[in-house]
């Protein structure tokens, strides 16, 4: 938001500081020339409305991106932004042509009822009967890929294979989707498989109003019994900022009408639904609480009751790595029994393991289904996941340090040169501030501080920035904007990829103060408050 006058004032101040003619020492003169040229390049970018608009929006990468020079000069930054975003969209479209967006699901059903439903009298004379038998009784594998044909047309190829108790089959589907306008799209689907005959479907999506949309899906399934048509229509409406209402009507093999309300906020997800249909009618209520922690932990519970019986489910999920989320759900139902469902989402792949424990409502099965996964998770998290993530983070940091080593070394040399060139100016600033009992920076450090006892084994990585900060003091004030402080004159990044802070010990009106500021946090001192002021005995 700096005005042209403010830019010129800062440019003049830095030019006076780094001007080569002000330094007689040959080494300092050479360093001053390099920094003077950098200041001049920065001013050329910021003094031109066009390049400044691009830099403000996209940073240095915007200036280096191919194609920006063809942007026609406009009167306002908004018009420049519109033109530049068009160039970016063209690049994204070219990149889109190379993406397939694969998605897949692998489900393995496990029958572990022998753990709880054993009948000892039937196993007395059977060799090896002392060991319960755990079997895989069903499997399902599905995969899909998307192939963008144009900016509005996409082809989707999907297939699946299923097997249960020795019987199985599969199918393959091809869908062609076209975005007709900003309000809707249509999709044609063709499928075939060995369990069912050919399938032809049509799906249409349309925004009726800014708060309401409708989806219609009609299909024709050909089989040996003839043609079986099906139709599904969903009408949805935004009830408020965080709440959606759905009304679904399905006609065909399993006709039903379903209505549901879904409320999704930053900390919770709530759903209530009711269905009337053939063969199943039910009511369902579910709630999920979202913890605002680093691992994005969520706990959930649901109750579902209908003609098929009653099912209670509860569980939790947690992020275990950058791209992986692990979840477990215990399902207790009548007459379904007790099951444990384990799910792992890894990027766009889902691995699902439903484990059927018992056909009866046994407290022991519920206890082990609840406690067992928790014990295993915390043991794995402490012994495997946490050490792996720590090692992975170290590898990434080391790789980042290696890739930026030459650049950081250059920044360090520039910062050290700037500090040497600032000495004379800083001496004059301190004399002026002392005369008016103004702002004097006693000590200042920038980098990684370790204040937490749990991180006491980590190394402190800081640099002394007392001189650069004092050089920025003007009229007994120091003002830093919301940006990484590594880019300030006389600063550099001492710990690439790690969290950094600025710690300042300063004197104002003869009283010592101390302040700690996050790397991207704005800072304005002096600030007359009890948190900054230090005791007189300090």
Question: What digits encode the pLDDT tens for the residues 309-333?
Answer: 999 999 999 988 878 899 999 999 9
Region 58-80: mean pLDDT is 59
Q: DSSP state, 320?
A: -
Q: Does the reported pTM lie above 0.75?
A: no
Q: How far apart are CA 434 and CA 476, in angstroms?
A: 10
3-state secondary structure of 451: coil
Residue 68 has pLDDT above 70, yes or no: no
Residue 363, token pair as written in the block: 């407290």
pLDDT at position 74 is 47
pLDDT at position 121 is 47
Q: DSSP state, 459?
A: P
Contact between 324 and 344 (Cβ < 8 Å) = yes
Contact between 486 and 415 (Cβ < 8 Å) = no
Phi, psi of 138, rounded to the nearest 5 degrees:
-160, 150
Tens of pLDDT along 417-431?
888 888 888 898 999
pLDDT band at 398 (very low <50, low <70, confident <90, very high): confident
| Bridge partners of residue 310, in order along the sequence | 305, 334
Tens of pLDDT along 141-183?
999 998 888 878 999 999 999 998 878 889 999 999 999 998 9
Which helix (H) or strand (E) covers residue 418, if one does? helix 386-435
Residue 120 has pLDDT above 60, yes or no: no
Contact between 425 and 473 (Cβ < 8 Å) = no
Contact between 419 and 463 (Cβ < 8 Å) = no
Contact between 472 and 418 (Cβ < 8 Å) = no
Region 253-264: mean pLDDT is 92
Q: How far apart are CA 326 and CA 331, in angstroms?
A: 17
Least confident among 288-292, 444-448, 480-484: 480-484
Q: How far apart are CA 537 and CA 504, in angstroms?
A: 18
Q: DSSP state, 69?
A: G
Region 221-234: mean pLDDT is 88
Q: For residue 325, which of 352, 303, 302 has the smallest C-alpha distance?
A: 352
Contact between 297 and 327 (Cβ < 8 Å) = no
The answer as to CATH 3.40.50.150 being correct for domain 4-91 is no
pLDDT at position 73 is 46
Output 404-408 pairs: Cβ under 8 A, ≥24 positions apart.
Answer: 404/496, 408/492, 408/493, 408/496
Burial of 533 (0-12, 13-18, 19+ CB in 10 A): middle
Torsion, CA 508, CA 514, CA 516, CA 519, rounded to 10 = 40
Residue 70 has pLDDT above 60, yes or no: no
- Strands 103-111, 349-358: pairing is parallel
pLDDT band at 269 (very low <50, low <70, confident <90, very high): very high
């Amino acid at each position: 938001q700096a005005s042209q006058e403010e830019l010129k004032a800062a440019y003049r101040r830095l030019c006076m500081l780094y001007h080569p003619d002000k330094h007689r020492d040959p080494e300092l003169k050479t360093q001053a020339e390099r920094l003077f040229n950098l200041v001049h390049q920065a001013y050329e970018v910021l003094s031109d409305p066009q390049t400044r608009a691009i830099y403000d929006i996209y940073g240095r990468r915007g200036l280096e991106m191919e194609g920006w020079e063809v942007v026609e000069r406009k009167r306002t930054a908004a018009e420049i932004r519109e033109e530049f975003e068009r160039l970016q969209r063209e690049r994204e479209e070219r990149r889109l042509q190379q993406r397939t967006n694969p998605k897949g699901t692998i489900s393995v059903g496990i029958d572990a009822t022998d753990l709880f439903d054993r009948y000892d009298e039937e196993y007395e004379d059977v060799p090896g009967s002392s060991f319960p038998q755990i079997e895989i009784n069903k499997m399902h594998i599905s995969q899909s890929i998307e192939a963008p044909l144009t900016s509005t047309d996409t082809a989707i190829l999907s297939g699946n294979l299923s097997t249960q108790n020795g019987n199985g089959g599969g199918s393959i589907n091809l869908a062609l989707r076209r975005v007709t306008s900003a309000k809707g799209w249509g999709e044609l689907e063709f499928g075939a498989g060995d369990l069912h005959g050919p399938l032809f479907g049509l799906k249409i999506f349309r925004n009726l109003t800014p708060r309401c949309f409708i989806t219609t899906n009609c299909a024709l399934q050909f089989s040996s019994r003839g043609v079986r048509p099906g139709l599904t229509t969903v009408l949805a409406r935004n009830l408020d900022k965080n709440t959606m209402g759905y009304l679904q009507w399905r006609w065909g093999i399993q006709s039903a009408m379903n209505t549901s309300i879904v409320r999704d906020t930053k900390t919770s997800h709530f759903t209530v639904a009711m269905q009337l249909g053939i063969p199943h009618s039910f009511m369902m209520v579910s709630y999920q609480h979202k913890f605002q922690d680093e691992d994005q932990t969520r706990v959930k519970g649901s109750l579902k009751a209908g003609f098929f019986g009653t099912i209670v489910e509860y569980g939790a999920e947690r992020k275990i790595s950058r791209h992986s989320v692990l979840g477990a759900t215990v399902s207790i139902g009548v007459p379904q029994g007790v099951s444990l469902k384990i799910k792992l989402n890894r990027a766009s792949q889902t691995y699902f393991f439903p484990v059927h424990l018992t056909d009866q409502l046994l407290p022991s099965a519920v206890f082990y289904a609840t406690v067992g996964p928790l014990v295993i998770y915390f043991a794995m998290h402490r012994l495997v996941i946490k050490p792996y993530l720590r090692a992975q983070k170290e590898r990434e940091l080391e790789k980042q340090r290696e890739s930026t080593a030459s650049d950081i070394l250059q920044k360090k040399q520039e910062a050290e040169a700037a500090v040497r060139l600032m000495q004379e100016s800083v001496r004059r600033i301190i004399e002026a501030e002392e005369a008016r009992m103004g702002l004097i920076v006693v000590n200042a450090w920038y980098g990684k501080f370790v204040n937490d006892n749990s991180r006491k084994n980590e190394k402190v990585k800081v640099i002394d920035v007392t001189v650069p900060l004092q050089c920025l003091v003007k009229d007994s004030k120091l003002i830093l904007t919301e940006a990484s402080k590594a880019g300030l004159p006389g600063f550099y990044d001492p710990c690439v990829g790690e969290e950094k802070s600025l710690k300042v010990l300063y004197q104002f009106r003869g009283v010592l103060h101390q302040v700690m500021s996050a790397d991207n946090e704005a800072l304005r001192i002096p600030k007359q408050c009890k948190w900054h002021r230090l005791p007189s005995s300090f």
